[in-house]
Amino acid sequence: MKNPRKKKPVTHNTRTDTKVSVGWSGPLPPPAALEQFDTIIENGAERIFKMAEAEQSATNSLNLKPYDKTIAEVNGWALSLQYQLWPQPQ
């Protein structure tokens, strides 16, 4: 016959969570990551390359025209001085 006063053993559930994050600097991930993107998304690596090329092209087009900003600033100052120096019709 079982002893009704006997307690059941206590069991503890242990849970361990692990979070892993990976990052890189630059427009392209390392080759291993590109390979993983290719397995997850069809032509994933190719899409990433196209995105990086488009970004580089946009950056280059912005960097090729620093003189445009200077010309606009000079024109703005010239118009401002013209307005201040020449008498305005009353």
pLDDT tens for the 90 residues of the chain, in order: 566 677 777 777 888 899 988 888 887 888 888 899 889 999 999 999 999 899 888 777 666 566 666 777 777 777 777 766 766 666
Q: Tell me, what amino acid is at 46?
A: E
pLDDT for residue 50:
92
pLDDT at 15: 85
Question: How many C-beta atoms lie closer than 10 Å to residue 30's C-beta?
Answer: 11
Identify which of 41, 19, 18, 17 has the alpha carbon closest to the alpha carbon of residue 29: 41
Each domain of the chain, given as residue ranges in start order, spans 31-79
Q: What is the pLDDT of residue 47?
A: 92
Q: Interhelix angle for 31-40 vs 44-63, to 10°?
A: 120
- Nearest residue to 33 (alpha-carbon basis) of 42, 22, 19, 25: 22
pTM here is: 0.45
**How many CB atoms lie under 10 A from the CB of residue 73?**
10
Alpha helices (H) along the chain = 31-40, 44-63, 66-85
